[in-house]
A and B are shown apart, each in its own frame.
Chain A
């Protein structure tokens, strides 16, 4: 019996060895390239990504940077890891990406949920708390379910006067976990960048967040923004406004005698809750995008006023 087991194991190893050797051959004819990702064992776990899917996720994660403080371990079995484009936060719109991995294999879990993403500012002097606009955490796109994306638009930076914390809940394969409020740092944007602005309609406060404007280039650019409404309870994250606002844009270069570009289109409300339009930029440099916000009936509700220079006082600053 012992001999039989030994022979059996020998045969198995030999086959595995041959298989491993041949699959290393780059001229392999069967067309399935051998995928190896550091830290991931592919063990056929149906909860986890196939090698091809995992590679896609892995490649995407190479383009962003880990946020170590926002990691979460659930039941000692699963790890949630958060990422951001620059590995930190700044005022205005920030995207946060989440992946869940199985501790045992390191592989990405196919699907999971992140909810209640809750940023909270503690204003130290007044000992008051408030939140900031956030977007729901959803799949990155329909083909990569294993990466979730959410966003937070910080309306101010961390300072001596106020500190930010972030919390979220996760549900992985039926098991839930939650972080407590985790202290984070929100950096101020450099000079010439102002990506979140507010306006009031009656007693309601709204926030206008422009999405990733540093991706813009000279030429025609798709522009996306979100309009969020301050919650009745200030510590509740500010969700997207229910009102269908239209944001008219007038990009100007203050350093060039308020030079502008033609054929910009207003950012109109889409079914996914975002506002989308087109912005044309004739060169790089500082662009001050003057805004006029209209409600669904076309009434101007914010901006559109004429300052002494003739432009709206409500604006984003974007330097590309």
Chain B
């Protein structure tokens, strides 16, 4: 019923991006015209996209600096995730993962960020074993408020972070428009104890627009344009910084409504340019240029329908991605040394996905999803191809893979008890780096990595379950867990006979399949609201990852915990958060990981809202890391310390 209502209002209201809550979907809300529901960052809209993503369940952020954090979902990083922007595929352009694709948008471009955990991906997702993120763009929709304006400014004292944003939404019966411009900059921040962390600065500008036109009562045309440019971005965890990271994201879509279904077809193109820069670093052994680029053109066609008990989505997608990266090193006096690090890999991928949410009875639901995808890859750069052929004489310049996934889950509500369980199987093709990367230095374990074109697809079998129990009106407790059993898990293997290229590297690893691996996550939560103005929250979580020899895998979360005390009074909200990690005792020494000690920090924040005339003023302020502890999490690349004490104030005016 709910979904029927939503479908019917798809073209006529702003509720375009609100979807029926699916079983495995988690969501953070960045803005919401109706100010209700959903989780959001304490810093509000001014929070960086990374801070927003970090609020999702089972998500950790790998941090190489202040900017462009890499999301890790269910203890799985980029290779095992799918990230889409409104269903559009987009791929990073940096061989060193300095630019997760989430860095090419701004919080202000988005309405929500939704996460499908595990193999049950969104329809456009491919290769999502750990999960799929979809960054949903902000769209005013037709027949909404004629004009909404949102101005925000933020300042953080630690690192002199400045955030400015302005966006407007115009809406009418025939057309709507969203436009916005954002600027964000930071200088080097101080870690706990007061030491300044060099090369932790960044600058970013972003402009975006979404336009919608109603062609007929049942047809609409939408166009998106995002330009995002980051410059002078420091990466304290790495040996290099970034001079330029630029994304241009465009799309054009048509939507058609039937009585009981909607059909959207989108064509898109995005172009990422990335240039590393080591000229600001002292003591550079050998200066090098390392540019990369990634271009993706694609389309998807999504048919959603609601019939009786079924909510169906059928999606066809096709994309073509080209990725090229090279490296030129300039030894003083001698001839430059040149190599192609991504040999202009052209990937053509096409897939068909089907999902169905079935309401069995009032209190029982089943969700089924499946996707099959086929891809062809060709190496278009001769030099890069011949270089790789030194290591793999039998390789060819073209490969194809078929991947797929199926997942099913069941949910039942028994009074205050909600139970859900699911299972899935899926596979992914090796990434460009894993298959064709060439001497990519990984500063995590100090090895040079070479791709392996003979890799098999990695696959995993997933089981998950969750239980929520409402005990009386004030208390709710829950536990949930998921486990992934991998076959042909892809990870780097030490290859003794190959000599490293990077000066100071420990050796060379070549990607290979290991017969099996296991990754599991579990968490427990409790929410208690003893008084109207007081709520208490607690959460415990832990991860586990083991390879075929039962040795720990890298970047697996240790015991983590968070308690939160929230207060509400009139126009005021305040919270105190205590959060921490236990010692990461099961660190992956075999894969170059070092132990991370336990830490605990305390954050304070407050929100104050009041109307001023027809405008609404929101002030958010807080102190992060109140006690100025010096700490690093297990996901801080090379253990770069987190920010020390930080005071922030964000102002938002909306009308």
Contacts and interface: CB of A to CB of B under 8 A. Distances in A.
A240 interface: no
A192 interface: yes
B386 A217 contact: yes
Contacts of B501: 256, 259, 282-283
A286 B335 contact: yes
B500 A218 contact: no
A50 interface: no
Nearest to B391: A262
Interface residues of B, number: 27
B589 interface: no
B284 interface: no
Interface in B372-420: 383, 385-387, 389-391, 393
B390 A283 contact: no
Nearest to A220: B390
B334 interface: yes
Main secondary structure, interface of A, reads loop
A131 B335 CA distance: 32
A262 B334 CA distance: 23
Interface string A224-261: 00000000000000000000000000000101111111
Contacts of B215: none
B471 interface: no
A143 to B, nearest CB: 28
A319 B335 contact: yes
A283 B386 contact: no
Main secondary structure, interface of B, reads loop
Given A219-B389, A257-B504, A282 B339 contact: yes
B202 interface: no
Contacts of A159: none
B439 interface: yes
B19 interface: no
A256 B448 CA distance: 13
A220 B393 contact: yes
A33 B346 CA distance: 42
B503 interface: yes
Given A262-B498, A284-B339, A218 B383 contact: yes
B329 interface: yes
A268 interface: no
Given A259-B499, A260-B499, A219 B335 contact: no
A263 B390 contact: yes
Contact of A284 (B336, B389, B390, B500): B336
Given A218-B339, A219-B386, A256-B329, A285 B334 contact: yes
Interface in A254-284: 255-263, 280-284
Given A261-B390, A262-B390, A284-B338, 7 more contacts: A219-B386, A219-B387, A256-B286, A260-B499, A263-B393, A283-B337, A285-B337
5 contacts: A219-B386, A255-B329, A256-B286, A262-B391, A262-B497
Interface pairs A-B: 7 shortest CB-CB:
A219-B386, A285-B337, A255-B331, A283-B339, A280-B390, A260-B499, A284-B338
Interface of B: 286, 329, 331, 333-340, 383, 385-387, 389-391, 393, 439, 497-501, 503-504
